[in-house]
Amino acid sequence: MQVPARPAGFGIEGIDLLCKDASEFQGDAGMQPGKLIFLNGTSSAGKTTLAHALQESLADVWQHIALDQFRDGLPDRYRGLNSPEGTTGQRGLNVVPVRHCNGVLTEVHFGEDGRRMLRGMRRGIAAMAHEGVNVIIDDIILEDDFLQDYLAVMQGLDLYFVGVRCPLEVIEAREARRPGRFPGTAQSHFLKCHQHGCYDIEVDTAAASPATCADAVSARLMAGPPTAFDILRQSVQSGAG
C-alpha cells in the first residue's frame, strides 16, 4: 500500500489525512486495541532500562519496540559518520559533529531513507496496537515533525506519553561509560526532545530506581486514560485555526 505524503503545513488537514491512513491498519472489528507507553528522552536517559523494568512489572504482555532496533536494521552503508551530501550515509542515519557554544556536539540527522524508515516504524507500531498488542515505544522526539507524525498515526489509540528525564551531568557520565556512544550526543538531545512540554507522567531516572520509575508509570496507567497526546493535538489545531 502506498502511504500518502504528509502535507508540508501540518494542521487539521494533516491529522485527518494521516488518521485515514492509519485506520487502514486497524484490526478486526470488535478487537480491543492494545495500549501504548511512549518513553521519550535523550540518549542514555534510561529509556531502555525502564522499558525492561515495565515489562517485568506489568501484568500483561508488553512488546518493547525501540528506535535502536530499527537503526541497527539499516545496512551499514546507510549509517553514516559525517557522511557528505548525496551519499548513502547521508540518506539514512548520519551522525554529525556540530560546533556549539559549549564545544562540539554530536547530532543525529535522518535523510530521505532514514525518514521513510521512521514513518514506517510508527505505522508498524500502530498496526500492532490495532491488533491488540501492548507496545512500549522507546524513541526520541528529535524534531517537531516526528511528534506531529506520532500525533496523527496514533489517533484513536490509548498512548501514555512518558518523559524520561535525568540531569545532564548524569547522562554525560553514562554516555562516557557506554561503548559506541559519541560524546555530546545526549547534550544535543537534552532540550530538543522535551520542547513540547506535555506528558502524562515524567520520571527522573537519576532520582529513582528503574523499578520505582516503572511503578510510577504503572500507577499512571491505573489512574485513567491518557491525555497528553490529545492536549498536543488540540494545540496543533488551535495553531492552525
**DSSP calls for 204-236:** ETTTS-HHHHHHHHHHHHHH----HHHHHHHHH
Give a yes or no: residue 82 inside a domain. Answer: no
Give a yes or no: residue 104 inside a domain. Answer: no
All cell numbers assigned to 192: 530538543
All cell numbers assigned to 137: 515505544
Q: Range of 42's domain?
A: 29-74+133-240
Give a yes or no: residue 105 inside a domain. Answer: no
Edge-to-edge strand order for the sheet containing 159-165? 62-66, 134-139, 36-40, 159-165, 201-204
Tell me, what CATH number does 209's domain have? 3.40.50.300
Whether the CB-CB separation of 212 and 48 falls below 8 Å is answered with no
Residue numbers in the chain where pLDDT is lower than 50? 1-15, 17-19
Give a yes or no: residue 116 inside a domain. Answer: no
Whether the CB-CB separation of 175 and 43 falls below 8 Å is answered with yes
Domain total of the chain: 1
Give a yes or no: residue 91 inside a domain. Answer: no
Give a yes or no: residue 37 inside a domain. Answer: yes
pLDDT in tens, 21-47: 555 555 565 689 999 999 999 888 999
Confidence at residue 241, expressed as pLDDT on a 0 to 100 scale:
52
All cell numbers assigned to 239: 495553531
Measured between its terminal Cα atoms, the distance across the chain in Å is: 32
- Distance (Å, rounded) from C-alpha 200 to C-alpha 191? 18
Give a yes or no: residue 1 inside a domain. Answer: no
Confidence at residue 179, expressed as pLDDT on a 0 to 100 scale:
65
Confidence at residue 226, expressed as pLDDT on a 0 to 100 scale:
98
Confidence at residue 7, expressed as pLDDT on a 0 to 100 scale:
38
pTM for the full predicted model: 0.84
Edge-to-edge strand order for the sheet containing 93-100? 79-81, 93-100, 103-110
Q: Vertex 174, ends 192 and 163: CA angle to 5°?
A: 40
Give a yes or no: residue 212 inside a domain. Answer: yes
CB hemisphere CA count around 92 (13 angstroms): 19
Rg (CA), the chain: 18
